[in-house]
């Protein structure tokens, strides 16, 4: 006999763990299937810290979702034994008229978020880790900070377990198909399961399960570095908000010291390497390290001590860098959360709520029009 559930969630990483938790909390019989471990370091949701910020330069329409995400993270944290969200404030900086600075300010103004505009000198006076060109501007927003992604996944899975969900790790989904009664059948390398609906949260592997995502949700290799600061007090969480920075070398981001004895940084689209998530260079190279170190030496010289750690990770980019949150037009019993384009983790708590809505009702009250599949 085939194992039968209300909903199956394919992939229990950042988004899938939140989805199983929301579904189980609503009394739904949910099965989560994960090919690796819970949590693991082969996808997109590892590396100890993820930026949470509200001054969203990408688009002001993200701000209501971010407010809801923050409420849900705090709620999750309240019944977990570890802190999940650390508030350090956030900095978005670059040349004064750069879209990153302007967009960040616009989101604050449209949504009444508290913020301060700092000149380069004011920024360095307050946060002495920075050495930016004189004509740069920074937007400081006090509610930003960072999440601990591995702990967030564990907290969501704990909550799902307490509400009766079944989650199976080390069980790889091989394919899914619609059934004659409007449900789905999912085959793994261990067994077959049926359900009324399916949520696909397979991260960098999403296009393997949704034809419409082919060429739309594209995996890209990323690299993170942690460098030992020469001046540790400049890079402590109380003294060093999370940041995004546009410079001629690209758009970079970083964190205060947390969990590893080094300050962490990365470059968006690192070396622009589109990859097969099952076959790429997982080990960071000296060229990867050089790119990040040269940036740190120039803009955060007091932070550019010996390397403590490096890791690779995967972005899954869409053509417009906005997410895909939708049901499949030809199979409305299948919901998809994909293409989080390097900025999705902070939303995982609210994405879980949205995908639970889509799986159960086919619609949600959240504003997700800009994430529809048919925009491509």
How far, rounded to the nearest angstrom, does the alpha carbon of residue 264 sit from its chain's CA centroid? 16
State which residue, 43 or 94, has the beta carbon closest to ligand FAD: 43
State which residue, 94 or 266, has the beta carbon closest to ligand FAD: 266
Residue with the shortest CB distance to ligand FAD = 13
State which residue, 120 or 311, has the beta carbon closest to ligand FAD: 311
State which residue, 120 or 210, has the beta carbon closest to ligand FAD: 210
Q: What is the DSSP secondary structure assignment for residue 70, as one 8-state letter?
A: H
Q: Under the rule (CB under 6 A), what is the footprint of ligand FAD?
A: 10-16, 33-36, 43-45, 47, 50-51, 172-173, 201-203, 205, 222, 224, 266, 313-315, 340, 342-346
Q: What is the DSSP string of 121-184?
A: HHHHHHSTT----TTEEEEEETT-EEE-HHHHHHHHHHHHHHTT-EEESS--EEEEEE-TTS-E
In whole angstroms, the minimum distance from the beta carbon of 322 to ligand FAD comes to 12
State which residue, 33 or 132, has the beta carbon closest to ligand FAD: 33
105 carries an active-site annotation: no
285 carries an active-site annotation: no
In whole angstroms, the minimum distance from the beta carbon of 212 to ligand FAD comes to 16
Is-contact 90 242, C-beta < 8 A?
A: yes
269 carries an active-site annotation: yes
Q: What are phi and psi of 48, to 5 degrees?
A: 75, -35
346 carries an active-site annotation: yes
Residue with tokens 């947390």: 258
- Could you tell me which residues are beta bridge partners of residue 245? 93, 252
49 carries an active-site annotation: yes
- Choosing from 35, 159, 221, 264, the catalytic residue is 264
Length of the chain: 376
* Euclidean distance between the first and the last CA atom of the chain, given in angstroms as a whole number: 40
264 carries an active-site annotation: yes
Is-contact 287 274, C-beta < 8 A?
A: no
In whole angstroms, the minimum distance from the beta carbon of 97 to ligand FAD comes to 25
In whole angstroms, the minimum distance from the beta carbon of 336 to ligand FAD comes to 10
Q: What are phi and psi of 109, to 5 degrees?
A: -70, -45
152 carries an active-site annotation: no
In whole angstroms, the minimum distance from the beta carbon of 185 to ligand FAD comes to 15
- Choosing from 19, 22, 35, 49, the catalytic residue is 49
State which residue, 50 or 105, has the beta carbon closest to ligand FAD: 50
How far, rounded to the nearest angstrom, does the alpha carbon of residue 1 sit from its chain's CA centroid? 38
Give the up-direction half-sphere exposure of residue 321: CA atoms within 13 A in the CB hemisphere. Answer: 8
- Choosing from 106, 269, 309, 366, the catalytic residue is 269
Residue 361 neighbours by CB under 8 Å, 6+ apart = none
- Choosing from 5, 22, 35, 50, the catalytic residue is 50
Active site residues: 46, 49-50, 264, 269, 313, 346
């Amino acid at each position: 006999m085939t194992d039968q559930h209300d909903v199956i969630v394919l992939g229990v990483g950042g988004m899938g763990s939140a989805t199983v938790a929301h579904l189980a909390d609503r009394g739904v019989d949910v099965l989560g299937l994960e090919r690796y471990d819970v949590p693991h370091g082969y996808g997109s949701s590892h590396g100890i810290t993820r930026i949470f910020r509200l001054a969203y330069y990408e688009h002001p329409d993200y701000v209501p979702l971010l407010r809801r995400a923050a409420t849900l993270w705090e709620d999750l944290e309240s019944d977990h034994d570890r802190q999940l969200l650390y508030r350090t404030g956030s900095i978005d900086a670059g040349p004064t008229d750069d879209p990153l600075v302007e967009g960040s300010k616009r989101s604050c103004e449209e949504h009444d978020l508290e913020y301060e505009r700092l000149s380069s000198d004011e920024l360095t006076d307050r946060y002495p880790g920075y050495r930016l060109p004189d004509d740069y501007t920074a937007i400081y927003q006090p509610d930003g900070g960072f999440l601990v992604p591995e702990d967030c996944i564990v907290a969501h899975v704990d909550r799902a377990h307490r509400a009766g969900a079944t989650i199976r790790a080390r069980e790889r989904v091989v394919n899914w198909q619609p059934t004659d009664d409007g449900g789905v059948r999912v085959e793994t390398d261990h067994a077959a399961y049926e359900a009324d609906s399916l949520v696909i949260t397979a991260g960098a592997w999403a296009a393997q399960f949704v034809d419409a995502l082919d060429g739309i949700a594209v995996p890209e290799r990323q690299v993170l570095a942690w460098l030992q600061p020469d001046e540790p007090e400049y890079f402590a969480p109380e003294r060093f908000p999370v940041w995004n920075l546009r410079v001629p070398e690209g758009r970079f981001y970083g964190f205060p010291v947390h969990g590893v004895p080094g300050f962490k940084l990365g470059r968006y689209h690192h070396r622009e390497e589109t990859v097969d998530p099952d076959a790429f260079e997982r080990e960071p190279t000296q060229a990867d390290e050089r790119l990040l170190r040269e940036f740190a030496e120039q803009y955060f010289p007091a932070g550019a001590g010996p390397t403590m750690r490096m890791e690779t990770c995967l972005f899954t980019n869409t053509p417009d860098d906005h997410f895909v949150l939708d049901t499949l037009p030809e199979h409305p019993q299948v919901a998809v959360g994909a293409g989080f384009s390097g900025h999705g983790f902070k939303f995982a708590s609210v994405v879980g709520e949205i995908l639970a809505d889509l799986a159960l009702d086919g619609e949600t009250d959240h504003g997700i029009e800009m994430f529809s599949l048919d925009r491509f």
